[in-house]
Amino acid sequence: MITKLFIVDDHYMVIEGIHALLQNEKNIEWIGHAMNADSCLAFLQHQQPDIILMDISLPDTSGIDLCKMVKTKYPAIHIVALSTFNQQSFIKKMMENGASGYLLKNASTKEILDCIETTMKGKSYFSFEAAQTLRYHSDDEIILTLREKEVLMLIAEGLTNPEIGQRLFISTATVDSHRKNILTKFNVKNTAALIHAAVKKGFL
């Protein structure tokens, strides 16, 4: 059986690279590529692949959002996230939005083929390193409420508690409460460590 493959990535060299790596595979048909979310959606209106390799950082929409959009319109298509970043937050978000796998860009030909094969069987596939970070950081998952995210962003902008209160039309005491909860959730002692951790975990 021949697998129809489509790729979405804004890096021309990556597209060409995967193309070159897979050109001798007879059971994989390369049906095209897109360099942004819009042209990907346009392509899908005329033709549907079995698998899409999708970069998570795209110029227009993020791969995370594109994944969701494609999956709701075409649930049969398997989507594999393609990324340089081995970040637990990205991996989780892609999987939540319906992706079937996560492939790092330093993957070998064998990994790519394994991934396509596994995904076509309806199973999930992770790059070795991606799987490792998922396991390693599995308990690090931090869930912030909407309000807490708002406060966190304003803290990062350098606003003080009174200023944040004014901005959100709540009292300084409330901001303080949120702040304490955020610090607890991140398990850090002060603002400096908080912002550092928040950036590394993809909140900012």
Partner DNA sequence: AATGGCATCCCCTAAAAAAGGGATTCATTT
Partner DNA sequence: AAATGAATCCCTTTTTTAGGGGATGCCATT
Q: Does residue 198 touch DNA according to CB under 7 A?
A: no
**According to CB under 8 A, which residues from 160 to 179 bind a copy of itself?**
160
The answer to whether residue 58 forms part of the interface with a copy of itself (CB under 8 A) is no
Nearer CB in complex with DNA: 101/165: 165
Write each residue from 123 to 162 as x if it is in contact with DNA (CB under 7 A), else as -, in one continuous string.
--------------------x-xxxx------x---xxxx
For residue 27, state whether it binds DNA (rule: CB under 7 A).
no
Would you count residue 187 as binding DNA (CB under 7 A)? no
Q: In this structure, which amino acid lies at residue 64?
A: I
Q: Are 119 and 131 in contact (CB under 8 A)?
A: no
Alpha-carbon distances, residue 62 vs 37, 50, 132, 133, 191 (angstroms) = 8, 21, 24, 22, 29
105 binds a copy of itself (CB under 8 A): yes
Which residues form the interface with a copy of itself (CB under 8 A)? Answer: 10-21, 84, 105-109, 155-158, 160, 188-196, 199, 204
